[in-house]
């Protein structure tokens, strides 16, 4: 059974960089697409981007200038960096496997942007 677990700071200051890691267990990250998705409190779901472990990435156009997704196959992890954050980036951040549909998701981690 594939399991995903997000980790990282729950509080980030405005203008700083949000950094999260998703650790995958129960299967390799190689050969799949892995996504980051976020959900502001009380709102809908927004796809941030994904990585295919060969190195191919694709990002939401509205976030592209601030987002980097990377993978570390030796640790079976992938990561998200979002720079120059503002209060609008406050959300629950999820990592998920993307097979067209997201069949495995992490539990999500709330990141609050506040000074």
List interacting residues with another protein (CB under 8 A).
35, 44-47, 49-50, 58-61, 94, 96, 98-103, 105-108
- Nearer to another protein by C-beta: 10 or 61? 61
Report, in Å, the least distance between residue 102 CB and another protein.
6
Phi, psi of 17 (to 5 degrees): -105, 125
Report, in Å, the least distance between residue 106 CB and another protein.
7
The stretches of the chain forming alpha helices (DSSP H) are none
- Nearer to another protein by C-beta: 4 or 85? 4
Calpha distance 61→35 (Å, rounded): 15
Calpha distance 101→50 (Å, rounded): 13
Report, in Å, the least distance between residue 112 CB and another protein.
16
Calpha distance 99→109 (Å, rounded): 22
């Amino acid at each position: 059974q594939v399991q995903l677990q997000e980790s990282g700071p729950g509080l980030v200051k405005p203008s700083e960089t949000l950094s999260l890691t998703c650790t995958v267990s129960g299967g390799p990250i190689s050969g799949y697409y892995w996504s980051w998705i976020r959900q502001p409190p009380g709102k809908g779901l927004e796809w941030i981007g994904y990585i295919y472990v060969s190195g191919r990435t694709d990002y939401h156009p509205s976030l592209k200038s601030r987002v980097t997704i990377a993978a570390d196959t030796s640790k079976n992890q992938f990561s998200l960096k979002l720079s120059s954050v503002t209060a609008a980036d406050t959300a629950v951040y999820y990592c998920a496997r993307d097979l067209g549909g997201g069949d495995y998701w992490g539990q999500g981690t709330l990141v609050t942007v506040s000074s």
